[in-house]
A and B are shown apart, each in its own frame.
Chain A
Amino acid sequence: MTRTVEDLRSVDHACAIPVSDEQLWEMTATFVAAGLAAGEQVVYFDDGTSGGLLERLADDCVPVTASLDDGSLTIVPPDTTRATLRSPPPHVQDMICGTIDNAVEQGYAGVRLTGQLSYALRRAGGVSLLQYDAALDEVVRARPARILCLYDRRRFPDGAIEELRARHHTELVVPAIYDDNLLRITSTGPGTARLAGEVDHSNRPRIRRLLETALDQALRSHAGPTDITLDLSSLRFVDVAGAVSLVHAAEEFPSSHRLVLTGVRPRVLRVLDRCGAPFAAQLVVQPRTEQDSGETR
């Protein structure tokens, strides 16, 4: 059975098999943010890539610093994560139980656990991930805890993925319009989409196609939005021709419609400015502000 991250309130143990880095951070950040919003304690087992998660949380306007300060978001250091994956399943069970009981005592509504588990693949002759999984399942069944197991499609062999997938009765899926492992485009509502990653010569035509489709849909429906909005808060790079194509697309919009770019990072903003964005009447560029990044809240 597959579900989206938002449905996870009713599920206690799910897996996700991201195919790209952007999808990985998108799923992890949504899972973490939903937990923080619900008053749960979130524990992230880091394997040295927490920078990507924290960046995406900031893009999503999640108050990262405040959550880290008050302990509602805990990042387990890479060394500890690896040590955990080396210890026998009963030991891990005890540790997780302790964490959950502790959180409940402190008044949290529950606990969310997640992290990347690819380290377990690298160590030969250890206990298999399946055994950990069974142990975790036992723990969360009787406790207010939710676990999201992330198995990176690119790092796990096909056989392992199938085995692990079969073990989880719930798999999270996040549909994307496009994902080439450099750029990920997701639909976020009528006339709105979100770009995450980098736009360059290899995937630039996708942007044009996306805008054409969005505009067609908006024009066809009477109640359609008059603004086509692209959320660029997770767009880390755009090349000159990519910026030019955004500016040209806006200039070619019918006069009733506008192209709105939100959460634009300084790096992307500088390229847009050099490509004539300030002179395009139907292009609205909203730079990312400090408040957006969630750091000041």
Chain B
Amino acid sequence: MRIETTRSAVAFRLEHAAGYHRSDADLLAQLVPLALAAIERGEPVAVALRPGTERALHEELGRPAGLIPLSRPDGPNSASGQTVAAHRALELRELTSTTGGPVTLLTEHITTLDGADGSFWTEFDAAVNVALAELPVRMTCFYPELPLHLEILDGSRRNHPLLLVGGQMLHNPEHLYPRDVLAMRPAPAPALLGPPDLRMTFSAWQLHEVRRAVEAAVLEADYGPARAEDLVLAVNEVATNAVEHGAPEAELAIWTGNGSELVCEVHDHGVLADPLPGLQAPHPSDPRGRGVWIARQLCDSLHVWADRRGTHVRMHATP
């Protein structure tokens, strides 16, 4: 697994814009000029669109325009906006490091990711602002003018520093920093699971017991030795964070029942200083913050949320 250890040195930083469309035809009419402008500048165009929109855009642009489709979030991990943002950051970091220059990214709202109230998108766009902050990406996110959940409109207006209006990029006066956005609408708790197969409390001096417990759980499933060791490391880092910054005692829960899937949760009573930890590559001289950053890349998904009881992390991994 590829792990990035340094920040990008490119001066160009994320340009994050929102656009709104009335219909599919309106969407296409707004997408085409953005794509053409990018091609004119010689920038690669990455897309995260619905299959129908992607096909239509392809036809409009003609054969020679090479659109780069990013992976579509699916499965249980797609419910976590921060996880989807972290994966997208990984893909774009790879892409921008091979092309060297800026990349244009066109994305579209996908209803199936809405969840119960559409707050997925608020969390996702806030996480994008953190995870992609240092990347040379021109990202335009398209939302319907009338989505099912009002939260989607509210969230997108707070999260995007730029608005695409009549083909012009305008400064968005309603834009807020990710921390403030998440203070208003915290990252949602994931779907409840049944009783865990193992539950234990631990202190800073019992982290080796956490590692033994995770080791035992991954031994049962069919993980290779290197992947198993990496997952033990990932849980160790999250558990370390819990007892380092949080309460003197934290709780670990492990689910192994669902086939070879491994789900771990770490709960502590501490207050989350950074609502979206581990989304940004820490500076090499910074001794802290690297653990969760690495854990995010080792797990299939890592979702952090907070409530009145404290801070919670759910990690999910498959072989």
By a beta-carbon cutoff of 8 Å, the part of chain A in contact with chain B is 182, 198, 200-202, 237, 239-241, 244-245, 248, 266-267, 270-271, 273-276, 279
Contact = CB atoms under 8 A, between A and B. Distances in A.
Contacts of B207: 200-202, 239
A202 B291 contact: no
Given A200-B208, A201-B207, A267 B5 contact: no
Nearest to B288: A241
A197 B287 CA distance: 23
Contacts of B237: 239-240
Contacts of B288: 241
B291 A266 contact: no
Question: Would you list the 9 A-B pairs with minimal beta carbon distance, nearest first?
Answer: A240-B291, A274-B3, A201-B240, A267-B229, A200-B207, A202-B205, A276-B5, A276-B284, A240-B290
A94 B229 CA distance: 47
Given A240-B291, A270-B230, A201 B244 contact: yes
B226 A182 contact: no
Given A200-B208, A202-B207, A270-B226, A239 B287 contact: no
Contacts of A202: 204-205, 207
Contact of B284 (A201, A245, A273, A279): A279
Which of A201, A248, A266 neighbours the largest number of chain B CB atoms within 10 Å of its CB? A201
Given A201-B240, A239-B236, A273-B3, 9 more contacts: A198-B208, A200-B207, A200-B208, A241-B287, A267-B226, A270-B226, A274-B5, A274-B294, A276-B6
Given A276-B5, A279-B5, A240 B294 contact: yes
Contacts of A244: 287, 290
Contacts of B244: 201
B51 to A, nearest CB: 36
B141 to A, nearest CB: 31
A240 B240 CA distance: 10
Nearest to B287: A244
Interface in B227-243: 229-230, 232-233, 236-237, 240, 243
B208 A241 contact: no
A244 B294 CA distance: 12
Contacts of A241: 240, 287-288, 290-291
B168 to A, nearest CB: 43
A279 to B, nearest CB: 7
B260 to A, nearest CB: 21
B211 A237 contact: yes
Interface in B62-106: none
A202 B288 CA distance: 16
Interface of B: 3, 5-6, 204-205, 207-208, 211, 226, 229-230, 232-233, 236-237, 240, 243-244, 284-285, 287-288, 290-291, 294
Contacts of A273: 3
B204 A240 contact: no
A240 B233 contact: yes
A227 B209 CA distance: 35
Given A239-B291, A244-B290, A200 B5 contact: no
Contact of B208 (A182, A248, A266, A270): A182
Nearest to A245: B287
Nearest to B207: A200
Nearest to B210: A200
Contact of A275 (B5, B211, B230): B5
B146 to A, nearest CB: 45
Contacts of B211: 198, 200, 237
A200 B240 contact: yes
Contacts of B208: 182, 198, 200
A279 B6 CA distance: 10
A273 B208 CA distance: 22
Contacts of B290: 240-241, 244, 275
Nearest to B297: A274
B240 A248 contact: no
A96 B205 CA distance: 44
B236 A200 contact: yes
Contact of B233 (A182, A271, A276): A271
Contacts of B229: 267, 270
B129 to A, nearest CB: 25
Nearest to A203: B205
Nearest to B3: A274
B281 to A, nearest CB: 11
Nearest to B228: A267
A239 B226 CA distance: 15
Contacts of A182: 208
Nearest to A201: B240
A276 B243 CA distance: 25
A244 B236 CA distance: 15
Contacts of B287: 241, 244-245, 248
Contacts of B291: 239-241
Contacts of B232: 237
A266 B232 CA distance: 14
8 contacts: A198-B208, A201-B244, A202-B204, A241-B240, A241-B291, A245-B287, A274-B5, A275-B290
Nearest to B285: A248
Given A244-B290, A245-B287, A274-B294, A201 B243 contact: yes
Nearest to B243: A201
